Amino acid sequence: MKLFIDSGNLKDIQALADTGIIDGVTTNPSLLAKEPGDHRDILKKICEMVKGPVSGEVTATDLAGMLQQGRDLAAIDAHMVVKVPLTRDGIRACKALSSEGIRVNVTLCFSAAQALLAAKAGAAFVSPFVGRLDDIGSTGMDLIREVVEIYRNYPFKTEVLVASCRNPIHVVEAARLGAGVATCPPSVIDQLFNHPLTSIGLEKFLKDWEKAQNVKA
């Protein structure tokens, strides 16, 4: 499973890209609004850092606006993926941009029916938001199970990109279900590294080693 960073923060992205385990980045208007500077410059720098798919989202809600912004975002760098919302015009924009060879990530997906439409429109990625479903008392991972099952029945090229991941359990479940990608905020990726027994075990190994060196000296 690919692991993407869900952030627009260059420092956080660079720190995680340096670990060598990052395959791409997703951003959204809320994330980029928090960062100083022009969004196109930020996206270009992210593309140079990760050299993998980087999603930048359109803010237009009509077809013509989405197409214009989508083409503009795609022109930033060859790694750019254009994010469009799962609306009627978003699906039309997905179809048009995909047929021009632009990779599209259809975002704000909350049902299997919506995910089916994204695949039919030629999306490179569909982003079901698991955390936001959990927030309203649904089980986000049930949606991932359904979408993965549906996509396996057909030769769709669309990858299931598990979005709105809030904890390591979301990531592990996404991998168990065979999703193509999980995108996580830096804090969640940091948590993936940690286990208390690793820290305790390492401390003990090093203490024993040091003790033995003192005895041998």
Known catalytic residues?
83
DSSP string, 142-175: HHHHHHHHHHHTTT---EEEEBS--SHHHHHHHH
Residues of span 49-108 touching ligand E4P by CB under 6 A = 107
**Stretch binding ligand E4P (CB under 6 A), from 63-71, 95-103, 129-137, 192-200:** 129-137
114 contacts ligand E4P (rule: CB under 6 A) = no
**25, 46 contact by CB (below 8 A):** yes
Within 8 A by CB and 6+ apart from 165, the residues are: 6, 130, 131, 171, 174, 182, 183, 184, 185, 188
Token duo for residue 211: 């003790």
Bridge partners of 6, per DSSP, are 26
Using the rule CB under 6 A, which residue among 97, 126, 163, 189 binds ligand E4P?
163
**Stretch binding ligand E4P (CB under 6 A), from 35-43, 95-103, 123-131, 192-200:** 123-131
129 contacts ligand E4P (rule: CB under 6 A) = yes
Token duo for residue 61: 């809600």
Q: Measured over all CA atoms, what is the biggest interatomic distance in the chain, rounded to whole angstroms?
A: 76
Within its chain, how far is the Cα of 128 from the centroid?
10
CB of 4 to ligand E4P, least distance (A): 8
Residues of span 1-20 touching ligand E4P by CB under 6 A = 6
**Stretch binding ligand E4P (CB under 6 A), from 13-21, 114-122, 125-133, 150-158:** 125-133
What letter represents residue 171's amino acid?
V
Which CB, 105 or 153, lies closer to ligand E4P? 105
What letter represents residue 159's amino acid?
E
CB of 188 to ligand E4P, least distance (A): 9
CB of 164 to ligand E4P, least distance (A): 3
Under rule CB under 6 A, how many of the chain's residues touch ligand E4P?
Answer: 11
Torsion angle, alpha carbons of 50, 55, 59, 60, to 10: 130
Can you tell me the distance from the alpha carbon of 99 to that of 169, in angstroms, rounded to the nearest whole number?
36
CB of 217 to ligand E4P, least distance (A): 53
**Stretch binding ligand E4P (CB under 6 A), from 58-66, 128-136, 152-160, 204-212:** 128-136
Which CB, 33 or 217, lies closer to ligand E4P? 33
Binding site for ligand E4P (CB under 6 A): 6, 26, 28, 107, 127, 129, 131-132, 163-164, 183
